[in-house]
Structure 1
Amino acid sequence: MILMKNVIIGNKASSLALLLLIPLLFTGCIGGYDQPAVAPESGTRASITFVAAEYSSSTKPFFENLVRDFETRYPNIEIELHVINWDFLDAAYSSMISRNQPPDLLLSNSYAHFAKDGLLNNIEELLSPELKEKLYPFLFNTGKMDGVQYAVPYAATIRELYYNKDIFEDIGMEETPKTWEELENTARIIMDKTEAEGFGVDFTDNEIWAYLSYFFFGAGGGWMKDGKWAINSPQNVKGLTFLKELYEKGLTDAEPAVTTRDEKQRILGNGKLGMMISGNYFESVVPKEFPGLKWAKGPIPVKEGQTPLIHGVQDVMISFKTDHTNKEALSLFLDFLYEDARYEEFVLREGFLPAIRTVGEKLSSNDKIMKQNIDSIMNARFYPIDNPAWSAVRNATKSMGEAVLLGQMTPKQALDRLQQIALNKS
């Protein structure tokens, strides 16, 4: 029997109503909390609650099939699966935690604040030697805090500048802009000579911290410096100021704080946007929606004089402590999640980069772009997900995009506020 409670929440629904319903969404879904932990081979049933982010329309059926296969192989372990849209993921698992019913396993994009509060298992204790051995060390090591391994990588991407080749041909350009000055000039030419918008900027709640990162790093700054928060550094202020000025000059898309990354990708595919920064999943998702699209990519533009920017992003698996935690069952499920053939299917479905060497080596041997992307992400700069304050900082960025663009606060004021939040939560 498959005990599967899937929660898929659409972007168009009322967020207030859905947040009020979140406790009800999980009522009755999470059973067995009063039962003692038992080894699966004893014949007594064990259960695992698995909450996963929804990346695309492929995510839900992939994990549903995975759970069916797992329960067929291990019929005395039940998986309670929740697949939740990114817009509501944080609120959903926060509701579970507040009711002292955290998930046994969570796939999300942060962990350190939970580790600081003592809520997480040492996930290294759940990893088989075989699984630990095949994880890429440069991704695995970011899951460690104060010498304890709390997270393991599952999904990874590299960010680059993607552009519509037809639009570039119309304006007589063959390469992507490499510097901020070239980015501004290219966007202006697109706006002057075509009916498309120049440069897509995502300042929505789901992606603003990504664009801040691109232009913090591109200015020679970053979220941290020498292990300390440096969000309001002069370099970062310069980066955010440059983005604001692009918007004020009419060189970006019209609604950076409203139109999401996925929507901008469709606008680019429709020939109404010249260029935008996105992840390598663009290469799998967008051509399927727009098979006639001619696209190409280049590095993220940086301030004149700065070194080329490589920005990487990863999502991780974490395990919460519960009074029914069955480490043997969790270990079996983690091994199953990362089995090569199954994990390769996930990577290819979603357009991600693999977190394990065996799959990475196989895919790289047949795909030059995959090899290039994996080589690049090994030298990428990432979000500081190993810092307990990162979750609060990331959440605080969500309310600042429109305020900065509309002049309700200056870039310096906005970054001063983020810096203070980081220091208060550290």
Structure 2
Amino acid sequence: MTMSLAGCGTSTGSGDGVTLRLVAADYDVAGGESSKKYWADLTAAFEADNPGIDVEVRIESWNDVDRKVAEMVRAGKAPDIAQIGAYADYAAADKLYSADQMLSIPVQSNFLPPLTDAGEMKRTLYGLPFVASTRLLFYNKELFEDAGITGAPGTWDELKEDAEQLKLNTDVTYPFALPLGPEEAQAETMMWLLSGGGGYTDELGRYAIDSPQNIETFEWLKENLVDAELTGPVAPGSLNRKDAFAAFTRGEVGMLNGHPSLLQAAEKTGIDVGTVALPGKDGEADAAMGVADWIMGFKQNGHREEIGTFLDFLFADENVLEFAGQNDLLPVTVSAQETMRNDPEHADLKDFLEVLPGSVLPPVGKTSWASASEDIKKNIGEAVGPGGSPARTLSRISQDAKAAEAAE
């Protein structure tokens, strides 16, 4: 029997002693117990409200969680719910329930549009956004003041001028840190592509990695920042995000692109942080990069109704805000975002909250994105390296991505 009733997840389940198995990622980078406590408290409250539905939670590190869920699925032992980094392969293999098979209509309609767009495959929502983030330009206010810089850059040219001032007047180690190393080069790349009016895909959703705008962006980066020796002692292709962030917290970086968790880390070490929307070629970039992690319901065990009941509970504002707040991340629903924006306790996240609704996410709905992303991580640094050619590097990456997409 085909299940197609929208909003069917509002029922409290069959009450026949169903146990849902949930695998979730550990967000506590300090090695603490915050993720375990969140899920323990959440499931205890859920079970009290829903007799007959139990939830067993297994927490895995981010280094392992995607692999372990994949192993479970291959072994025919899929969890009922997985909170991981990607959903596309499972959706393409028809292993997931769609949102309208699980969630009540109010919950479905409450997600921020850029996040639901990214969670769709063939116009059907399978990847439910669990938590989100976006990126801003971070700058060290003390270094700016020492260099005689009175305001944050609003254009590429101003960013270059500020980097030159930082190098000339403060001899800062990294006037602008450009992490194009293999850890997260696909994110840094996308930020710059968006600021140049391009992106990974065109208006029809097709790969356009070697578009004229993208090539021009990387030519500007190479000529004006890298070749001008404004990006520090480590070649961008060898600089990982983690190391760039650590250098910022030590006061060694004038500017870099960062996410909300860096804000707290830098302030803990006494860095006076300024944030501003990423500059574009001639003014503020048209869009910021958004990022989301995903939660999904697997079909294998047939617990569609119970999964929907749990997910409706999970996406209540208080639960969304609790998890986002404790991890310096952004809520994924319209109502929770509005609550956070009006909460003085989260005033430092205001700029991030402002740009998230208009953000653009990577093309995570393509099963080919995993290989394309890995290609970018490994090779994009060549585009700005000695003797590098942005046109040549972007063209090869684009051709491989298109070939992988054609094979989907």
- Return the TM-score normalized by structure 1: 0.80
- Check if 1:172 corresponds to 2:148: yes
Tell me which residue corresponds to 2:9. none
For residue 295 of structure 1, what is the aligned residue in structure 2?
273
**Aligned match for 2:115, one of 121, 139, 149:** 139
1:162-311 matches, within 5 Å, as 162-196=138-172, 197-227=174-204, 228-245=206-223, 246-255=225-234, 256-287=236-267, 289-290=268-269, 292-304=270-282, 307-311=285-289
Structure 2 alignment gaps of length 5 or more: 1-12
- More off after superposition, 262-271 vs 161-170: 262-271
Q: What does the per-residue CA deviation read over 1:235-278, in whole Å, with 9 as the maximum and x for residues that have no partner?
A: 21122233334223321133334443343223222211111101
What is the TM-score with the length of structure 2 in the denominator? Answer: 0.83
2:394 aligned with 1:415, yes or no? yes
Residue of structure 2 in register with 1:48 after alignment: 21
The number of aligned residues is: 383
C-alpha distance in structure 2 between counterparts of 1:96 and 1:204, whole Å: 31
1:330-367 Cα deviation digits (max 9, x unpaired): 22332343232232121111112211233222222234
Structure 1 distance, partners of 2:381, 2:113, is: 38
Quote the residue 1:35 is aligned against.
none
Q: Which moved more, 1:168-177 or 1:274-283?
A: 274-283
Q: Output the CA distance in 1 between the equivalents of 2:321 and 2:164.
A: 41
Within the candidate set 124, 129, 132, 1:153 is matched to: 129
Match of 2:299 among 318, 321, 331: 321
How far residue 55 of structure 1 moved from its aligned partner, in angstroms, is: 6.0
- Do the aligned partners of 1:195 and 1:272 also contact (CA within 8 Å) in 2? no
Tell me the amino acid that sits aligned with residue 267 of structure 1.
A
Shift of 1:60: 4.9
Calculate the aligned-residue CA RMSD, in Å: 2.8
Q: Alpha-carbon deviation of 1:208? A: 0.8
For residue 61 of structure 2, give the secondary structure of its aligned residue in structure 1.
strand
Distance 1:397 1:100, change over 3 A: farther
- Partner amino acid for 1:280? P
Residue 8 of structure 2: aligned partner:
none
Amino acid at match of 1:286: A
SS at match of 1:41: coil
Pick one of 359, 362, 369 that aligns with 1:390.
369
Deviates more, 1:271-280 or 1:72-81: 72-81
Partners of 1:301 and 1:72 in 2: CA distance:
44
Q: 1:325 to 1:253 in 2, by over 3 A?
A: farther
Q: 1:389 to 1:73 in 2, by over 3 A?
A: closer
Give the match for residue 376 of structure 1.
Answer: 355
Q: Structure 2 CA distance, aligned partners of 1:399 and 1:354?
A: 31
**Distance of 1:72 and 1:346 partners within structure 2:** 15
Secondary structure of 1:387 counterpart: coil
SS of 2:135's partner is strand
Provide the identity percentage.
23
What secondary structure, in the 3-state scheme, does the structure 1 residue paired with 2:142 have?
helix
Q: Is the 8 A contact 1:337 1:343 kept in 2?
A: yes
In 2, distance between residues paired with 1:286 and 1:305? 27
Structure 1, unpaired ranges of 5+: 1-38
